[in-house]
Structures are given as structure tokens and as C-alpha cells.
Amino acid sequence: GQSLEQPSEVTAVEGAIVQINCTYQTSGFYGLSWYQQHDGGAPTFLSYNALDGLEETGRFSSFLSRSDSYGYLLLQELQMKDSASYFCAAKGGSARQLTFGSGTQLTVLP
């Protein structure tokens, strides 16, 4: 099965940089994804890492180290609208079973 661990809460101020870590244990690993979810909303895809290294998409970047079973999401120039839950996720099985981590609630303060 898959197990992904994240911090439950992170708080930062507008304009700051925040890093959300994710450690995983999976039986079979294809890569690490990140999703954002606002209260009552649907999860929205942010980023995906199949290989080691950094992927940058605008203000968001994601990093993966397969040897350490570790990844992180980096959010720069934080805005109030970034307040949301962030989930790391990994696939297993036949690659059509995406398991989510426990989620990190990010609160951005003015």
C-alpha cells in the first residue's frame, strides 16, 4: 500500500516562502503529485515529479528525492488566496490508484 506523511498545519505571512514536506512509503512508485484544495472545493492539480529534482511552475515548485522517499512543495510570494489544504499524492497498484497524504492546512496571514 501507500503511506504519505505531511505536517498538519503551516502558517506564514503574505509575501513569504513556505515549504511543505512529504515523506512516503509505497509499494511501487511512479512519482509524486501535489494538489491544492480550498474549503468545500475540489482538489486541483499543482505539480508532478517523476524524476529527482526540482519542477518549477510559476510561484510553485516541487522537489523529489526518490532515494530519500521525500519531496516538498515550495510556495513563493505567498498570497492570501494560497490559504488552502495541500496534499501530496502517489500512485500504486496498476497506476490507477492515487493515494493522498494527510494534507497540510496552509494559513496565510496579512
Partner 1 sequence: AAGVIQSPRHLIKEKRETATLKCYPIPRHDTVYWYQQGPGQDPQFLISFYEKMQSDKGSIPDRFSAQQFSDYHSELNMSSLELGDSALYFCASSTRDSANSNEKLFFGSGTQLSVL
Select from 10-18, 19-27, 69-77, 101-109 the region that touches partner 1 (CB under 8 A).
Answer: 101-109
Residue ranges in 13-32 that form contacts with partner 1 under rule CB under 8 A: 30-31
User: What's the CA gap between 37 and 71, in Å, rounded?
Assistant: 19
Strand ordering across the sheet containing 70-75: 2-5, 18-26, 70-75, 60-65, 53-57
Select from 18-26, 59-67, 75-83, 86-94 the region that touches partner 1 (CB under 8 A).
Answer: 86-94
Q: Does 97 bind partner 1 (CB under 8 A)?
A: yes
Q: Identify which of 35, 16, 20, 3 has the alpha carbon closest to the alpha carbon of residue 106.
A: 20
Q: Binding string, 29-68, against partner 1, x = CB under 8 A?
A: -xx-x-x----xxxxxx--x-x------------------
Instruction: In angstroms, give the least distance from the CB of 16 to partner 1.
Output: 25
Q: Are 24 and 32 in contact (CB under 8 A)?
A: yes
How far does CA 37 lie from the centroid of its chain?
11
Residues that bind partner 1 (CB under 8 A): 30-31, 33, 35, 40-45, 48, 50, 87, 91, 93-103
